[in-house]
Structure 1
Amino acid sequence: MHAEACEAGAAVSRFLAQNRKALDLLGESLRKDPPALVITCARGSSDHAATYAKYLVETLLGVPTVSAAFSTVSLYDAPVASSPGRVLCLAISQSGRSPDMLATVERQQASGALVVALVNDEDSPLAAMADVVLPLCAGPEKSVAATKSYITSLAGIAAIVAAWRDDADFASDLADLPARLNEAFALDWSALGEGLRDATNLFVIGRGYGLAVAQEAALKFKETSALHAEAFSSAEVRHGPMAVVREGFPVIAFAGPDSAGDDVRALCTEFATRGARVWLASQADGAEPGIGHLPVLSLRAELAPLATISSFYRMANALSLARGNDPDSPPYLAKVTRTR
């Protein structure tokens, strides 16, 4: 897990280089005939990437983006109605082999959707059926816990949006991302790992672009450390779950350099006043009492979560080992999950 997470910068660099022409053609096509709807198809870590896609597409392009519920096709065999406007089906997968995802993508394609696949296995059934294939180029991932393929999926989504918008500034920042990911992986989050060594439950908080990596972090805590973690937006947690947060309860928060980050920072202050054990990853140097500061890089809000999760992965691997677990081979899990 450590070695693969460390490779994320190189993986993103390969993705951008190999898919440059395909991204340009896709962007031109999407501008010429803009989709009225984006439907994401993904599970697990890839579905967290789909959360990122929702926020990025809806904020930067204004196109509604929804997640397909695979069981409606794989279990209920429900039809998919043709849309009066163009539909972009964005399928995100490391393996490209889960039967329920393939059935859903096939049904979307039959209804007239343009299928674009972000997939790490270029020989997979998903790659074979897609109209446009954007290989993640992450390379073999032996650890059950996806790391570099997840970060490259986020970068792929950002690259699609930059190409769709024909946004030169965004594309330039993406080109700089591999080096920034290497910097982020080197940041020291060991204080968080030490603080969670004996934890049993915790919340992971994000909002906006950062919600996707909060979801991913919560999954990694469960997968690699057998540590029960729940992810919430800083807005949604206020609708009931925050009653759990009392003295000593651990909270990890990811705050970007935008208004969503401001809300996360405000929530951390509130939780700290209750005596919760709060750690905040934020570009603002956290000097507030009761809040542990986790260093992050200074990046535009849309790309900041990619660097944050890179720093997190290094800590999560070390925490897993400190708790006596094997982060590469968690019990009861397999690298390819074949749900139906």
Structure 2
Amino acid sequence: MFREAAEAADVVARQFARNRYVVAGLCADLRRSPPPFAVTCARGSSDHAATYAKYLLETQLGIVTASASPSVGSVYGATQSLQGALYVVISQSGKSPDLLRNAQAARDAGARVVALVNVEDSPLAGMADTVIPLHAGAERSVAATKSYLASLSAILQLGACWKGESPLLDALDALPDALRAAWRCDWSPLVDGLTDSRNLFVLGRGLGLAAAQEAALKFKETCGLHAEAFSSAEVKHGPMALVGPGFPVLAFALADETGVGTRTLAEEFRARGAPVWVTAGDAGVGTLPLADAPHPACAPLLVVQSFYRAINALAMRRGFNPDLPPHLNKVTETV
């Protein structure tokens, strides 16, 4: 896991270069014939990437984006009205039966199916209208790292090229070096603080929610640590009643419109006596360093890259093998 996560910057640079023309062609078509809405379909870490896609497409392009429940098509057999929609299926293996059924149903319903997939000769790639390869290479650790970041970067490249404006496009060139800087960030206070913990909340909002969801999953699967991800707005609707002395909180406060609110909430929880760690550009008790983002939309990738190094260390500190979580397989084929 450590070695694969460390490869993310090179993976992203390679992906951007190799996918330039296929993404440019897709985006030219999308500008000529804009879809009425977009739909994502994924499971696990890939579904967290879909959360990022929702916020990126809605904030940068104004395209309403919804998450499809794979069970609607694969279990219930229900049909959906998708004529003209952009249907984005995200999968590392490209072979999960429920995702394949939903991709085919989406094509039959008139959607344009785009597959973000790491295995280019997979069944999913074979049925998609457009394939955007992740180019993550072989990933042997059960816990996905570089392939998850490759999913986010593929979404970012798609959104940037579709929008076609300099600030976001320029950020693509700077992202690999920013990921290298993120990998060097020292999050050891988080490792030290969570060594004996049993539960925690992970908070994020907007583009940062996808990072919180991914972090919560990694706490569970690699460390045996129960974690729940919440929007820093949604946590106020009931769950925050649990937060007090001895209940840890990890808050991903990004340098965008959501940052101030997330930091304010983190301070409120700290005042209750909760152990709180919050990402911040400045040094201080309970703060975790952030690499400078070339664009706010890049920040979730940098947060996750720093987190991966920390979670690998935490897993080993707690006596777990992060490469082989109990009861899990690398490829999960749901129906």
Task: Tell me the TM-score normalised to structure 1 length.
Answer: 0.97
Question: How far off its partner does 1:81 sit?
Answer: 2.6
User: Does the alignment pair 1:175 with 2:173?
Assistant: yes
- Which residue does 1:296 correspond to in 2? 290
| Structure 2 contact 183–306 (Cα < 8 Å) conserved | yes
- Which residue does 2:319 correspond to in 1? 324
Question: How far off its partner does 1:191 sit?
Answer: 1.0
- Which residue does 1:260 correspond to in 2? 258
- 1:138-172: CA deviations, max 9, x gaps? 00000000000000110110110111111232121
Structure 1 residue matching 2:244: 3-state secondary structure = coil
AA partner of residue 75 (structure 2): L
What does 1:8-87 correspond to in 2, within 5 Å?
Answer: 8-83=8-83, 86-87=84-85
Structure 2 residue runs of 5 or longer lacking an equivalent are: none
- 1:173-204: CA deviations, max 9, x gaps? 11111111111111111110011000000000
Structure 1 residue runs of 5 or longer lacking an equivalent are: none
Q: Please identify runs of 4+ aligned residues in structure 1 that moved more than 4 A.
A: none
- Which residue does 1:126 correspond to in 2? 124
Question: How far off its partner does 1:286 sit?
Answer: 5.1
| Structure 2 contact 204–230 (Cα < 8 Å) conserved | yes
**In 2, Cα distance between equivalents of 1:9 and 1:286:** 25
Q: Give the total of aligned pairs.
A: 334
- Which residue does 1:337 correspond to in 2? 332
RMSD over equivalenced CA pairs, Å: 0.9
AA partner of residue 270 (structure 2): A
| Structure 1 contact 280–286 (Cα < 8 Å) conserved | no
| Structure 2 contact 117–125 (Cα < 8 Å) conserved | yes
Question: How far off its partner does 1:82 sit?
Answer: 4.3
Q: Percent identity?
A: 54
Question: How far off its partner does 1:131 sit?
Answer: 0.6
What does 1:76-155 correspond to in 2, within 5 Å?
Answer: 76-83=76-83, 86-155=84-153
What does 1:220-259 correspond to in 2, within 5 Å?
Answer: 220-259=218-257
**In 2, Cα distance between equivalents of 1:28 and 1:265:** 39
AA partner of residue 309 (structure 1): V
**In 2, Cα distance between equivalents of 1:333 and 1:167:** 42
Question: How far off its partner does 1:32 sit?
Answer: 0.6
Structure 2 residue matching 1:10: 3-state secondary structure = helix
